[in-house]
Amino acid sequence: MPMILRRSDQKPSPGGTVLFEGGAHGAPVSLFLIDTAKGEGPGLHRHPYPEMWVIHEGAARFMIGDDEHIAEPGDLVLVEAGVWHGFKSVGDVRLKATCIHANGCVVQEFKADLQD
């Protein structure tokens, strides 16, 4: 059955990011609608499935494995399953991006969790 999740029904985090977990709606994908300020973003983490970003506005510094990359509007970023990665918003424009998880729910392990 078709569904439209209206913007007014999407509840952003205090930082402005919205999480949609598709499994609760019969979809095999999940996503984050990212809207974050300079210096914000998740630390190193990994997933048991691939993850992809579409950069709409602003820029992000990605750490993927041992490599650092800058992604800008129009760029697509893909990280394979099991690879440590993280990103931070850089520049003076808020980072607006769509982060797609190839899974019906978000499953992630943060590197800091392994050090406890």
What's the CA gap between 20 and 12, in Å, rounded? Answer: 10
105: pLDDT strictly greater than 90: yes
Q: Which helix (H) or strand (E) holds 114?
A: helix 111-115
Please, which residues bridge with residue 88 across strands? 61
pTM: 0.89
CA distance 56 to 100: 13
Could you report the per-residue pLDDT of 36-48, keeping only the tens digit for each?
A: 999 999 999 999 9
Distance between CA 50 and CA 100 in Å, rounded?
9
70: β partners: 61
pLDDT in tens, 46-95: 999 999 999 999 999 999 999 999 999 999 999 999 999 999 999 899 99
Answer yes or no: is pLDDT of 101 > 60: yes
Q: For domain 15-115, say whether CATH 2.60.120.10 is its number.
A: yes
